[in-house]
Amino acid sequence: MAELMQDRVEKLKDLDVFVYHGKIYIPNTYTAGAVGSRFLIEIRDNKKIMGTRCSTCDVVYVPARSVCKHCFSQLDKWVEVSDKGTLLTYTVAGQSNGVQPVDPPIIYGIVQLDGASTGMVHMLSEVDFEKLAIGMRVRAVFAEKRVGSILDIKYFAPL
Partner 1 sequence: MTTEKKAEKKPEYIKVEIARPRAYKWSSGKYLGKLYKEALENRKLVTNRCPKCKQLLWPPAGVCGRCNVEAGEDWVVMSGEGTVLQYTYLVFPLWDPHYGDRLANPYPTATIKLDDGVFLVHFLEEKDPEKLKNVKRVQAVWKEEGRGRGLGDILYFRTIDE
Partner 2 sequence: MGNRVAIVGIGQTYHKSNRKDVTQPEMVAEAVRAALTDAQMKPKDVEAVFTSNMETFEGMYLPDHMMVDEVGAFMKPGLKVNTGGTTGASVVEEGFHFVASGLFDTALVIGFEKQDCGDTTAAITAAVTPVWGKGVATGAIGEFAKQALTYMQKTGAKEEHAAMIRLKADKGACKNPYAHLKLGLKSIEEVLNSGYLVWPLRLLDFCPQSVGACALILASEHKAKKITKKPVWIADVVTVHQEPFRAGSFGDPTGTEEYSQDIAAERLYKRNGITNPTKDICMAEIYEPSNWEEMSHYEHYHFCEKNEGWKMVEKGITEMEGAFPVNPSGGVIATNPIGATPTIRVAEAALQVRGDAGEHQVTRDVHTAMATALGGPNWTVVTLLKRSL
Compute how many other C-beta atoms are within 10 angstroms of the C-beta atom of residue 66: 14
Cα-based distances in Å from 96 to 92, 99, 103, 157: 12, 8, 7, 22
Residue 95 beta carbon to partner 2: minimum distance, rounded to whole angstroms:
21
- CB under 5 to 8 A by kind: which of partner 2, partner 1, none does 132 bind? none
Compute how many other C-beta atoms are within 10 angstroms of the C-beta atom of residue 20: 4
Binding region for partner 1 (CB under 8 A) out of 31-39, 48-56, 66-74, 89-97 = 31-39
For position 77 contacting partner 2 by CB under 8 A, the verdict is no
Compute how many other C-beta atoms are within 10 angstroms of the C-beta atom of residue 140: 20
Candidates 4, 9, 31, 99: give the one binding partner 2 (CB under 8 A): 31
Compute how many other C-beta atoms are within 10 angstroms of the C-beta atom of residue 19: 4
- CB under 5 to 8 A by kind: which of partner 2, partner 1, none does 15 bind? partner 1
Interface ranges with partner 2 (CB under 8 A): 20, 22, 24-36, 65-70, 72
